[in-house]
């Protein structure tokens, strides 16, 4: 059996509102994502997609139920253990690339190494190999601010993959790109995830991009259903 990378078990998330009211962003959500599987998450605005990603990354905690990363219940970990589990186990890709504009392409990919430590020479070699894989080997020394949007997102993909995370989470990774560029970036993301054997969960509003995943799930008012 393939090892489970991410598991949601009957997860409910409520946010408190003013005057004692609450909003139920996720309602009894269960999902298993094994290694190497690509899952697309779709749903209307406010249906709970970002909440799902935040819980999967251990950035926020469920009100009820359990979120397991590599078999470890994130709710049972200390803050420090959870931070380490996220740092070593999860790569994040966002709609806006969050690159440091004055740093070079190579240094942007190495930011997680500069923050989290590790064998810098080995990580530098890996960063170079990842950048070559996405077609940017000629741009290593260029400041990130000189790149196009599609190139910036390719750099962000390499940064997310630097520490060989078992889980990649992407929140509308092509939402800021035109359709053709978005397709190229999404194919790169899926290709890299498959090559690395990483599980991937990505949020998209595009039917075409969702169709590239191994499976698609829809959130509807906090309920998860197979699309």
Ligand X SMILES: Nc1ncnc2c1ncn2[C@@H]1O[C@H](COP(=O)(O)OP(=O)(O)OP(=O)(O)O)[C@@H](O)[C@H]1O
The binder of ligand X chosen from 2, 3, 10, 15 (CB under 6 A): 15
CB of 114 to ligand X, least distance (A): 30
Q: In the numeric block, which tokens belong to residue 170? A: 């992407």
DSSP 8-class letter at 2:
P
| C-alpha to C-alpha distances, 204 to 53, 58, 90, 124, 209, nearest whole angstrom | 12, 21, 19, 31, 7
CB of 23 to ligand X, least distance (A): 5
Residue closer to ligand X by CB (options 47, 216) is 47
CB of 25 to ligand X, least distance (A): 3
Residue closer to ligand X by CB (options 25, 161) is 25
57 three-class SS: coil
Residue closer to ligand X by CB (options 95, 137) is 95
CB of 22 to ligand X, least distance (A): 9
Q: Which strands form 167-171's sheet, in the order they lie side by side?
A: 90-93, 167-171, 199-203, 38-42, 215-220, 223-226
CB of 41 to ligand X, least distance (A): 9
The CA distance from 75 to 58, in Å, is: 8
Question: Is residue 142 near ligand X by the rule CB under 6 A?
Answer: no
Site for ligand X in 18-47 (CB under 6 A): 23, 25, 43, 45-47
Q: What character string, x for contact with ligand X (CB under 6 A) and - otherwise, covers 44-83?
A: -xxxxxxx--------------------------------
The CA distance from 160 to 145, in Å, is: 18
Nearest to 170 by CA among 58, 50, 36: 50
Contacts to ligand X by CB under 6 A: 15, 23, 25, 43, 45-51
């Amino acid at each position: 059996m393939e090892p489970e990378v991410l598991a949601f078990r009957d997860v409910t998330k409520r946010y408190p509102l003013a005057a004692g009211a609450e909003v139920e962003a996720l309602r009894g959500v269960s999902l298993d994502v094994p290694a190497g599987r690509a899952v697309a998450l779709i749903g209307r605005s406010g249906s709970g997609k970002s909440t799902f990603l935040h819980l999967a990354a251990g950035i926020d905690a469920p009100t009820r139920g359990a979120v397991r990363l590599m078999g470890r219940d994130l709710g049972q970990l200390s803050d420090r253990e959870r931070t380490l589990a996220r740092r070593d186990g999860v790569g994040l890709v966002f709609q806006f690339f969050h690159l440091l504009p004055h740093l070079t392409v190579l240094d942007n990919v190495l930011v997680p190494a500069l923050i989290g430590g590790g064998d810098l020479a080995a990580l530098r070699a890996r960063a170079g190999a990842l950048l070559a894989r996405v077609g940017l080997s000629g741009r290593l020394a260029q400041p990130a601010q000189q790149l196009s949007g599609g190139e910036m997102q390719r750099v962000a993909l390499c940064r997310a993959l630097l520490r060989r995370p078992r889980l990649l989470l992407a929140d509308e990774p092509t939402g800021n790109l035109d359709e053709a560029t978005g397709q190229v970036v999404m194919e790169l993301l899926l290709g890299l995830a498959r090559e690395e054997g990483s599980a991937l969960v990505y949020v998209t509003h595009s039917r075409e991009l969702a169709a590239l995943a191994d499976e698609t799930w829809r959130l509807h008012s906090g309920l998860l259903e197979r699309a």
